[in-house]
Amino acid sequence: MGGGAGNRHDRSPLTEPAPAKVNLALHVTGRRRDGYHLLDTLVVFTEAGDSVRVATRPRDEFTIHGRFGGGLSANADNLVPRARELFRKMHPEGGQTAVSIVLDKNLPVASGVGGGSSDAAATLRALHRLHGMAADDTKLAEAALALGADLPMCLAARTLRAQGVGEIIEPVRGWPSLDLVLVNPGVAVATPSVFAGLDQRENPPLPELPERPDSAAILSWLESSRNDLEASALSVAPVIGEALGALRSSGAALARMSGSGATCFGLFTSQEAARRAAEKIAAAQPSWYVEATRTIEQDDDAD
Ligand code: C5P
């Protein structure tokens, strides 16, 4: 988490991407005593996403722009100011500077692509950079878990396998960038109701990950995995079935829901095929969120 702002008195504004989180597979493997579900999930992050811009100011400000900004209120309950307060709690000495934060909300809200968690993670990364501080990744992930189960994975923001309620993270190396189309049919789905509607809470873990993750191996691995939340989400919001159908009839090699929905992804064999499918779906469903994107490539020599 480098790239510090350097001089404490000259902190120029900076922007941090908050990529969409897509659960390529999500198995529910059990339930903890506190009611939280145990998961085994393969997660990727995409070039599509929100972004967070921070700058020092005489007093705190928080504003929201972007296509889906209207669906959120910029109050203290939002995960972005909650992340700002967490940062201050973690850095009682140097972290108290007043800041403006602008959230560019390009992703649909409450939609299974980790938007709020990714925004909070980006805020934490941005505030560390603005203050020229290096974050202790382990401590930060532990503290950020209080803001939501997806926070640790959104802080990592790379292809990974997450277990537990999302706090046990293992980087997955060597996967190519995948061409996806994200489709949200315009309904916000409440995560607790999707978990509450599960018929079966003890399912097998993810199958063993492919040793050589080329496109064919990834597709066949995906076909042998599931999203265990899909059936429950479909009964909460049947329109999810239409989103999956639209992806399948536009040539997706595989279509599946992400997280607790309602956003679905389709996997395509090329950027061009993804772009064409997105155009076709958007033309048929102008009110839906439809975006062709790619998963963020990993720098596998880095760690
Ligand atoms: O942690 P987050 O705010 O994303 O979770 C929202 C709700 O979803 C939780 O209050 C819980 O009801 C449910 N949930 C769960 N198991 C998880 C994650 C979330 O039961 N692993």
pLDDT digit of tens for each residue in the chain (303 aa)?
433 444 444 567 899 999 999 999 999 999 999 999 999 999 999 999 999 999 999 999 999 999 999 989 888 889 999 999 999 999 998 888 999 999 999 999 989 999 999 999 999 999 999 999 988 899 999 999 999 999 999 999 999 999 999 999 999 999 999 999 999 999 999 999 999 999 999 999 999 999 999 999 999 999 999 999 999 999 999 999 999 999 999 999 999 999 999 999 999 999 999 999 999 999 999 999 999 999 997 765 444
Ligand 1 pocket, CB under 6 A: 36-37, 39, 148-150, 165-166, 191-192, 195
How many A from CA of 114 to the centre of ligand 1? 12
Distance, C-alpha 66 to centroid of its chain: 17
Active site residue 300: no
Ligand 1 closest atom vs CA 148 = 1
Token pair of 74 as six digits: 């910029």
Looking up tokens 């649909």 gives 108
SS3 64: strand
Burial annotation 40-51 (CB, 10 A radius, 16+ → b, else e): bbbbbbbbbbbb
Active site residue 105: no
Ligand 1 atom 12, closest CA: 192
Distance, C-alpha 279 to centroid of its chain: 23
- Catalytic residue, from 21, 104, 105, 179: name it: 21
Return the closest-CA partner of residue 268 out of 208, 206, 198, 219: 219
Output DSSP code: residue 73: -
Longest dimension (CA), the chain: 56
Task: For 257, list phi and psi in degrees, rounded to 5.
Answer: -80, 150
Pairing of strands 289-294, 179-184: antiparallel
